[in-house]
A and B are shown apart, each in its own frame.
Chain A
Amino acid sequence: MKRIATCLVALGLSTGAALAETAPGDVQFDDYGAIEASLTGTPGNAEEGRKILTTKSMGNCVSCHAADAYADVPFHGEVGPWLDGAGSRWSAAELRGLVVNAKMTFEGTVMPAFYKVDGFTRPGDAYTGKAAPADLPPILSAQQVEDVVAYLMTLTDE
């Protein structure tokens, strides 16, 4: 389903609001860095989000964040806070803002922006060391951001 939607958008065939994606430049943050509206209108898939969060070639959040919730994944980073309980500490809108561009919540944070395509110094073409293409894609797609947010919302305190 997600694949089909992405293909339709890529082909310029998207019809109707359900398939409309908010482009990185059009995202609306509130004063605290939260993003109320879903980027895709399609609910996120938490299981997919867990995969994105813990996979090097995807979100690779685990390189900086540890959590008991994904203790099965080796080598958790210590650069950012533990993510257990993030779904209780933050609302979905706040988490969406953190994943899209954490600098809108935490000024100057080392956490990268995952749905942003401009305003960088010497952006590269992924990890090749070469210059970025003119149409640099965001690190995560709009739906991947929604998937990560859905997973984070499952990390509640009990």
Chain B
Amino acid sequence: MKINKMLSTAAALTAFVIATPVLADEDAELVINGEIEIVTKTAAPAHLDGHLSEIMSGWRFRSDDTQAMEMDDFDNPGMLGAEAGFEQFETVMGSEGKSCMDCHDGVESLANVRPTYPKWNDDKEQVYTIQMQINDCLTERMGADAQKYDNSTMLNFEAALASVSRGMPVNVAIDGPAQSTWEQGKEMYYTRYGQLDLSCANCHEQNYGNMIRADHLSQGQINAFPAYRLKNAQLNGAHSRFKGCIRDTRGETFNAGSPEFVALELYVASRGNGLSVEGPSVRN
């Protein structure tokens, strides 16, 4: 009896779709400035066996217009943040009279950073995000104040670092000393939060490609962060996005920079192992 009902439901599902917003071209390919080839779809990493066979960047799920903005740096408002990040990199900050340039040979010399973070930090004996590392440089090496997590200075730094790694595959380590943090993040990904009782996986693994009201659900990947969102006209960090998604489950969120979100960032980043670094990206 229940089976009959499910069958007729399935029949109802095949009916036509009404009033959907402009949809993405999920088969489009991303090349930035006519030269940087971005892998936006590839085979899933082995640890996702049984969950996903293919991984896709959120870019594939955006409208043609939003997709196009990311194809040329002059049209990508997130690149203004990256430029500011390059300037910050050369600016003397703090009591030691140093800029990042005193220790590093330019942002380009750090192209291995975005693809491999979050990453185990041996000295600090914990998994470090890029922003945690930047704060260590600011406070311990430069005598400058720490920046607040996901503030515009931080996101400019992150955008600059991402921009020089575009096209390189995300490749975060999930074994060794980082493994327990990775497992904590994995558990969070499958935890159903809030009064709506929804996990990241409910929306981004089970329902990517489907509309949830006016939003076209992506896989919730973070290979493209920081993301310039047209909605709030600024760069957004991955932790702020996580916060918004948990809030939308009618849940109590965690804070940007919290140990929980560091673990979740490592896990979500690892789900994108093999996609290209794409930030700063453009999203709606």
Contacts and interface: CB of A to CB of B under 8 A. Distances in A.
Indicate, yes or no, whether A interacts with B: yes
Nearest to B217: A79
Contact of B246 (A62, A75, A126, A129): A129
A132 B203 CA distance: 22
A17 B42 CA distance: 61
A62 B20 CA distance: 12
A64 B203 CA distance: 11
Interface residues of B, number: 39
A121 B191 contact: yes
Contact of B15 (A56, A84, A113): A84
Contact of B195 (A82, A130, A132): A132
A95 to B, nearest CB: 12
A interface majority secondary structure? loop
Could you tell me the dominant secondary structure of chain B's interface residues?
Answer: loop
Interface in A95-112: 110, 112
Interface string A47-75: 00000000010001011101010010111
Nearest to B206: A110
B8 A120 contact: no
Given A110-B198, A126-B250, A127-B248, A79 B212 contact: yes
Nearest to B191: A121
Contacts of A77: 210-213
B5 interface: yes
A30 interface: no
A84 B247 CA distance: 31
Interface string B191-202: 111111110001
A89 B213 contact: no
Interface string B209-238: 011111000000000000000000000000
Contacts of B5: 89-90
A135 to B, nearest CB: 13
Given A62-B213, A81-B13, A123-B251, A74 B207 contact: no
B247 A127 contact: yes
Contact of A128 (B15, B19, B247): B247
Nearest to B212: A77
Contacts of B247: 124, 127-129
A122 B252 CA distance: 5
Contacts of B9: 81-82, 89
Interface string B169-204: 000000000000000000000011111111000110
The 9 A-B pairs at the shortest CB distance, nearest first, are namely: A129-B247, A63-B213, A82-B12, A78-B210, A75-B214, A129-B253, A112-B196, A81-B9, A122-B252
29 contacts: A66-B17, A68-B18, A73-B19, A74-B19, A75-B20, A75-B211, A75-B213, A75-B214, A76-B19, A78-B17, A78-B210, A79-B210, A79-B211, A81-B9, A81-B12, A81-B13, A110-B198, A110-B203, A112-B197, A120-B197, A121-B191, A121-B251, A122-B246, A124-B194, A124-B249, A125-B252, A128-B247, A129-B251, A129-B252
Interface of B: 2, 5, 8-10, 12-13, 15, 17-21, 191-198, 202-203, 206-207, 210-214, 243, 246-253
Given A60-B213, A63-B213, A112-B196, 15 more contacts: A63-B212, A66-B18, A73-B19, A75-B21, A75-B211, A75-B214, A82-B12, A84-B15, A85-B8, A110-B202, A112-B195, A120-B197, A120-B251, A121-B192, A139-B250
